[in-house]
Chains A and B, each alone.
Chain A
């Protein structure tokens, strides 16, 4: 191959610039995924756990009986616990359910502390994980102020009773959490929990699109986020 040094340098430069430009364009024009939880709608079905079941089935989340070793990607907690500092003892919403999951923070502490970049922020806002890179140091679990992460204290596979062959199982010794169903939204489907909710209490959408239903809801209804004072800028919103 006949390539002068000048041509080589020029090509390298162009390649770098193209890469950077594509990243920039994706960051500016691409979607920013977020979710809203309508607590009042959710409360109309007090015993419903269909979103949890759908999520855990889709992602091969093991059903470990020992609560110390429990793994969950999404859970149901009352406002009294999720918003303990905000909801005083007379608050009418204390008993309302708040589905808790990874907040896919704009400024995620878990990503900041991970020593191997096994958890990282995608351009579309999703805080994703590489389960083949995770060394299991659990620094991200200490850093997450929401308790969104679970660790595989033992081999999870014996506790996956009806495995989904479309999604990987994990091994012992790695951390896992909600991925906003990156594998589904990549093919245009909403997250499994959103699809499973009979009350349409979970709304998933694109914050970057001003016309999106999610943006319309956020603009018209009062909402809160968990521990906003920590500067993590959560992307999961709660309607009262």
Chain B
């Protein structure tokens, strides 16, 4: 079933890693049980800042999920052979990221037992309904595509014909999940930081930088673990994609800054001022945002110079910088800052509580566990076919 048996055999290091992940998941679960018992009051959220780490992680991870399209599209539409070996990894990365997205939404619910009300009372005028539809669909699409193509690879037969249209559907579907996620925010009156038509393109640009950056790190890691040179070419191609997407992402942020600060409309500048300079002495986000900026500029410097980008170690460093920079931007700043100041002009600062951070880490560990198991299956299938080729 799903070739799971291939994930059950591994080295000591593999099992150690699995047990570490299980320990983090367990800690998160214990904290979640406390949250379930006491309520969301154990988080750092408040009446003024009602969404925080959970929803921000969700937003960031939708981007990671959507970015699978950056390997699927060149491979299937442009026949970019370099991506033959990484499309399945990209799709499995999407499966793991969407699973984390759903868990982050779930842990953010005040009444998780009632979450199926969303299906019981389907409400098309709520964007959250469409987000559920698009995320659920995307999870199924990627899981089916990756498993079917991997099975074909194992049997050394071409994938069945019916999978091609499914793959083609998954391409616009990837764009739709992040567009709909942007619509969650940018259709709200009175949250000026989000009320910008460029939010969806901005989300997509940052997603197409952070997701492939993570995929580069994953490929380099797998290449190191399995001592195989298989991933050199796709990694360099992904580097080019990250370079373009990161440049566009930074450009979009600059557009936002120009519009807000040249027009000088207070509502449009306040949240941005809170992020980058602080408001009335409240500066909790400022060091984070400048770290993000510094990482973004540093990463661009490494990526834009071909000599640096072609060096695998420097590319890995740049990818890590891109990922962390965009994680701060989307995984903290963009969600929290929209609530500051409040509709009545109050400034309430937010920082996650320990329990909230541990629950979030637990969800990340769960996603990593899925990714580890799925990558293991891919490697096991390929190791066998490689061995047969040698014979």
Contact B188 A143 (CB under 8 A): yes
- Which chain B residues numbered 150 to 189 have a C-beta less than 8 Å away from chain A? 184-185, 187-189
Kindly supply a per-residue 1/0 record for chain B positions 108-134, scoring 1 wherever the CB is within 8 Å of any chain A CB and 0 otherwise. 111110110110110101111100100
**Is A49 at the interface (CB under 8 A from chain B)?**
no
Size class of the A contact interface (CB-based, 8 Å):
35 or more
**Is B46 at the interface (CB under 8 A from chain A)?**
yes
Kindly supply a per-residue 1/0 record for chain A positions 163-184, scoring 1 wherever the CB is within 8 Å of any chain B CB and 0 otherwise. 0000000011111000000000
The listed residue (A70, A115, A232) touching B126 by CB distance below 8 A is A115
**Is A82 at the interface (CB under 8 A from chain B)?**
yes
Interchain CA distance A66-B38 in the complex, whole Å: 15
- Which chain B residues numbered 19 to 49 have a C-beta less than 8 Å away from chain A? 38-41, 45-48
Interchain CA distance A116-B115 in the complex, whole Å: 9
**Is A32 at the interface (CB under 8 A from chain B)?**
no
Total cross-chain contacts (CB, 8 A): 139
Interchain CA distance A231-B191 in the complex, whole Å: 14
**Is A215 at the interface (CB under 8 A from chain B)?**
no
**Is B149 at the interface (CB under 8 A from chain A)?**
no
Contact A115 B118 (CB under 8 A): yes
Interchain CA distance A22-B191 in the complex, whole Å: 38
- By beta carbon, the residue of chain B nearest A114 is B126
The listed residue (B41, B118, B187) touching A153 by CB distance below 8 A is B41
Contact A69 B41 (CB under 8 A): yes
Q: In the assembled complex, which residues on chain B have CB atoms less than 8 Å from the CB atom of A153?
A: 39-41, 45-46
Given A68-B46, A114-B126, are A147 and B344 neighbors across the interface (CB < 8 Å)? yes
Interchain CA distance A136-B115 in the complex, whole Å: 9
Kindly supply a per-residue 1/0 record for chain A positions 79-110, scoring 1 wherever the CB is within 8 Å of any chain B CB and 0 otherwise. 00110110000000000000010000000010
- Which chain A residues numbered 34 to 63 have a C-beta less than 8 Å away from chain B? none
Contact B110 A113 (CB under 8 A): no
The listed residue (A67, A109, A142, A173) touching B110 by CB distance below 8 A is A173
Size class of the B contact interface (CB-based, 8 Å):
35 or more
Label chain B's interface by main secondary structure.
loop
The listed residue (A133, A136, A175) touching B121 by CB distance below 8 A is A133
Contact A113 B127 (CB under 8 A): yes
Q: In the assembled complex, which residues on chain A have CB atoms less than 8 Å from the CB atom of B266?
A: 85
Contact A152 B39 (CB under 8 A): yes
Contact A135 B344 (CB under 8 A): no
Q: In the assembled complex, which residues on chain A have CB atoms less than 8 Å from the CB atom of B128?
A: 113, 115, 137, 139
Contact B190 A117 (CB under 8 A): no
Contact A138 B189 (CB under 8 A): no
Contact A135 B117 (CB under 8 A): yes
- By beta carbon, the residue of chain A nearest B194 is A142
- By beta carbon, the residue of chain B nearest A109 is B189
Contact A173 B189 (CB under 8 A): no
Interchain CA distance A135-B191 in the complex, whole Å: 22
Interchain CA distance A15-B41 in the complex, whole Å: 47
Interchain CA distance A214-B58 in the complex, whole Å: 47
Contact A147 B342 (CB under 8 A): yes
The listed residue (B105, B110, B112, B114) touching A133 by CB distance below 8 A is B114
Q: In the assembled complex, which residues on chain B have CB atoms less than 8 Å from the CB atom of A155?
A: 39
Interchain CA distance A100-B132 in the complex, whole Å: 34
The listed residue (A137, A145, A174, A231) touching B343 by CB distance below 8 A is A145
Interchain CA distance A159-B174 in the complex, whole Å: 47
The listed residue (B105, B109, B185, B189) touching A230 by CB distance below 8 A is B189
- By beta carbon, the residue of chain A nearest B130 is A115
Contact B39 A172 (CB under 8 A): yes
**Is B291 at the interface (CB under 8 A from chain A)?**
no
Contact B126 A146 (CB under 8 A): no
Q: Which residues of A contact B (CB under 8 A)?
A: 67-71, 77, 81-82, 84-85, 100, 109, 112-118, 133-139, 141-147, 150-155, 171-175, 227, 230-232
